[in-house]
A and B are shown apart, each in its own frame.
Chain A
Amino acid sequence: MGPVLITQENQLRQQCVDGLSALLPEGLMLSSEEELKPYESDGLTAFRKTPLLVVLPETIEQVSAVLKWAKANEVPVVARGAGTGLSGGALPHEQGILLGMAKFTRILELNPEHGYARVQPGVRNLAISDAARPYGLYYAPDPSSQIACTIGGNVAENSGGVHCLKYGLTVHNVLEITVVTIDGEILTIGSGAQDSAGYDLLALMHGSEGMLAVTVEVLVKLLPEPPCTRLLMASFASVEDAGNAVGAVIAEGIIPAGLELMDSPAIVAAEAFAQCGYPTDAAALLLCELDGLEEEVVEQIEKASSVFTRCNATKLHIAADEHERLLLWKGRKSAFPAVGRLAPDYYCIDGTIPRSQLSHVLKQMSIWSDEYKLPIANVFHAGDGNLHPLILFDSNIPGELQRTEELGSKILLLCVEVGGTVTGEHGVGVEKIGEMCVQFDQNALLQFHAVKAAFDPQTLLNPGKAVPTLQRCAEFGAMHVHHGELPFPELERF
């Protein structure tokens, strides 16, 4: 082995190790190159950075000690759950500590009588429902990554899932969280009550991407499993027909538990992957799940079927039993990896649009897809307008990742243009930081920074994520001139 390079980073790393060793028991820090490697990215692997060191605390007090020390020494801290995030929200800081919450894996209390579970942030989303199932209860938000993603990360991203049209996002299903501030103070936000004194900090913390505080405990609401669940699958000859059917079923007064749309490339890929019985000749497919009392579900299935028929459905099929229902969902939930097999790489976009804009947006995407010669497959949380176009590319072809990112950015800006947002559920992270400059004006961004400063004036928690600086926006504006107008024209260009 050659001599150790004395770089500024190595010096800083040694300072951190020395400082934190005094506060933490042995074995909670990782600092060698091979130990740091697994932490260099989250689910968005196109971005990678090596942190100074990884700290894996085991107690809330240790989290508090680390944050206090970081504040005193002005060292950035990036918190991380399972690292399944798709926007680079847990991308490490090269001069910072990566605070891994992976050891907080205990379900502290499960109370079926009162309908809640008190869990540590590193508990996996699906593990909560697994633990609650014997009591006929479950935790409603179900992001596709639920087998691996953790509840702490769900709070940070305000994760959704296929059932959030009816059952809401993480923010609607969490009663209380305990956080540690950058000052090392421990604060409980919310309670078993339906509201709290003062401002709604619980709402503010959800989706704040680890920028305001570190979540160390979560009290989630458990819901009773519906006695009856049925899945209706409808095929269509065009995506427009399927899109119209979504609006029509809602106009009928039906709120499905889940309403998912897939286009032809996604259907074909998912069928090849999961062999779940999708009609591969359809241009679009709707999965419409209805739940509740049997009497209600039977009535609504009939109603939804006649709506879909009226909207030119070419085929209707009701899952015959629980086995088939789960199989049809498996196809949808494995759509990402399934599409992933079609090309060496894929890039997942997460814009949300008003549903009425669906066919306009899909048409435009298909034009761009031809222009860029990059195929796009679409899976879509149709009920709530959350699009997930998957751009297929090959990162080994020079320049193709850049072209993919450019196409992705174009799609996101189109979402904003039609009245939507650059991120429905995956978060801004580092990925969409430039597009934030288009969605929000200067005053709104400054207000975000002011909110951040109320919690973390030195911007030590997850710096550089979620909310762009105005300087960053000026640089972004130079790349993305919209309708000939530069964003932030009052700022100097550099």
Chain B
Amino acid sequence: MNNNDDTAALQDAVQQARDTSSAINLQGGGSKSFLGKGSAASTISTLNHSGIINYEPTELVVSVRAGTLLTDLTAALAANGQSLPFEPPQHDRATIGGVLACGLSGPARPFKGSARDYVLGIRMINGQAQHLRFGGDVMKNVAGYDVSRLQIGAYGSLGLLLDASMKVLPVPQQELTLVSTRSSSDDYSYISGLARRALPVTAAAVHGNIQYIRLSGTEAAVKAAANQLEGDVDVDSNAFWPALRDQSLDFFNTDKTLWRISVAEYASVLPLSGDWLYDWAGAQRWLCTEESPEAVFAAAAAAGGHAIRYGIDSAGSENQVPRFQPLSGTAQRLQKRLRDSFDADRLFNPGQFHPEFDVEPDHEQASS
């Protein structure tokens, strides 16, 4: 693993962008272009800023530079019998910075928590090219606003993430997968109640009309739980989870438009045509469809959730179709002002995350 602190160079690059009023796209391994890209002409890469800064297994904390490859980080943790419990998707040369900036979590999310849940502290560079540190390496910390967790899933629009400290946990002794057949591919009724059972369930999905449930824990616990749940132990199906996590199942290889729809796990079947895959016990729903973006956003909103388009829109040209559920009203106004407070000049990833935040900053409106 490379071990290189590139903070000074990255800060210089942001300062230069600021001095020349030229926006920049932030990039790690470049593995997540399917989630869009800023409209800036130039790109700053964090790949040279890599390596584990501090890892003390008994403290359950790892501090790592943003450009560290996820594969390197997970290998270092695995060597000590630990892992990132939110199971970040492993897309090609994904970096930990990219995973956190996009706020991505894998199948364990509804049972073990999300990327933001495990972040304890960060260092970053804001739009004024200032180096900032928030949170720390300790589990509990309520000093100041939680700017660390705010960065997670902000797609770099609040600043360049330099390092993050995260909580890690021991790898479970044993994992097994239970498989059973449902009446239809939309029958997620059984898995949506699993979080209310006091059992060591760590993933639950319905793909086609097959239901998958993963159990993790001590050997005795996993065995006892398997007897209380539907389905038969299927060793071959253990490979289902990483493929689901990384969206590498055949399901995701589609000519139609791929959407990720996030709703409460108990939300009814959404009135949208297409092929569905239910992960996160029914709370994360994947849809391959020819429905219009407006229809998808409207259905997601009506169910109390939101949608994100993965990859290109099968009908429209890339930059004219929104990717993220558009926000309006107070939510939009406040979040735009929040973006102003970190990056008033819109240096970072302009137009990528919620373009409605990138209209003229408030203070310019006021002075004009």
Contacts and interface: CB of A to CB of B under 8 A. Distances in A.
Contact of A113 (B193, B305, B332, B341): B193
B135 to A, nearest CB: 8
B136 A421 contact: yes
B75 interface: no
Contacts of B196: 112-115, 137, 222, 224
Interface in A289-313: 292-296, 298-300
Contact of A299 (B60, B149, B218): B218
Contacts of A440: 133, 143-144
Interface stretch (B242-250, B261-269, B287-295): B261-269
Nearest to A449: B341
A-side binding surface: helix, strand, loop or mixed?
A: loop
Contacts, number: 261
B153 A185 contact: no
A193 B341 contact: no
Interface stretch (A32-40, A42-50, A162-170, A390-398): A162-170
Interface residues of B, number: 82
B149 A171 contact: yes
A194 B138 contact: no
A206 B117 CA distance: 12
Interface stretch (A93-101, A231-239, A246-254, A359-367): A246-254
B143 A355 contact: no
Contact of B354 (A137, A198, A424): A198
Interface residues of A, number: 95
Contact of A292 (B60, B134, B217): B217
Interface string B322-346: 0011010011101101101110000
Contact of B137 (A419, A447, A450): A419
Given A194-B114, A454-B341, A295 B147 contact: no
B121 to A, nearest CB: 9
B146 A454 contact: no
Interface string A152-167: 0000011010001100
B41 interface: no
Contacts of B170: 253-255
A488 to B, nearest CB: 15
Nearest to B81: A253
Nearest to A295: B220
A195 B142 CA distance: 22
A356 interface: yes
B93 interface: no
B150 A443 contact: no
A439 B138 contact: no
A389 to B, nearest CB: 15
Contacts of A248: 58
A444 B133 contact: yes
A202 to B, nearest CB: 9
Given A168-B117, A293-B221, A203 B146 contact: yes
Contact of A224 (B109, B110, B197): B197
A450 B134 CA distance: 14
Interface stretch (A370-378, A379-387, A399-407): A379-387
Interface string A209-224: 0011000000000101
Contacts of A253: 81, 170-171, 173
B351 interface: no
Contact of B262 (A169, A194, A443, A466): A194
Contact of B169 (A255, A427, A453, A466): A255
B257 interface: no
B280 to A, nearest CB: 6
Contacts of A136: 198
Given A224-B198, A295-B223, A450-B341, A193 B56 contact: no
Interface string A413-453: 00000011111111110001000100111011001101111
B143 A428 contact: yes
A421 B138 contact: yes
A93 to B, nearest CB: 20
A250 B153 CA distance: 30
Given A355-B59, A356-B56, A194 B283 contact: yes
A207 interface: yes
Interface of A: 112-115, 136-137, 157-158, 160, 164-165, 168-169, 171-172, 181, 183, 185-187, 191-201, 203-204, 206-208, 211-212, 222, 224-227, 247-248, 250-251, 253-255, 292-296, 298-300, 352-356, 381, 383-386, 419-428, 432, 436, 439-441, 443-444, 447-448, 450-455, 466-467
Given A160-B140, A199-B150, A384-B138, 20 more contacts: A171-B149, A192-B263, A192-B304, A194-B110, A194-B262, A198-B331, A198-B335, A198-B357, A200-B116, A200-B154, A204-B150, A254-B170, A293-B220, A352-B139, A386-B138, A419-B136, A421-B143, A428-B143, A448-B144, A466-B144
Interface of B: 56-61, 81, 103, 109-110, 113-114, 116-117, 126, 130-134, 136-147, 149-150, 152-154, 158, 169-171, 173, 193, 195-200, 217-218, 220-221, 223-225, 262-264, 266-267, 280, 283-284, 304-306, 324-325, 327, 330-332, 334-335, 337-338, 340-342, 354, 357
The 6 closest A-B pairs by CB, nearest first: A192-B264, A295-B220, A296-B221, A203-B149, A384-B139, A253-B170
14 contacts: A112-B196, A168-B117, A191-B305, A192-B304, A200-B149, A225-B198, A295-B223, A381-B140, A384-B138, A421-B143, A428-B142, A444-B132, A447-B147, A454-B338
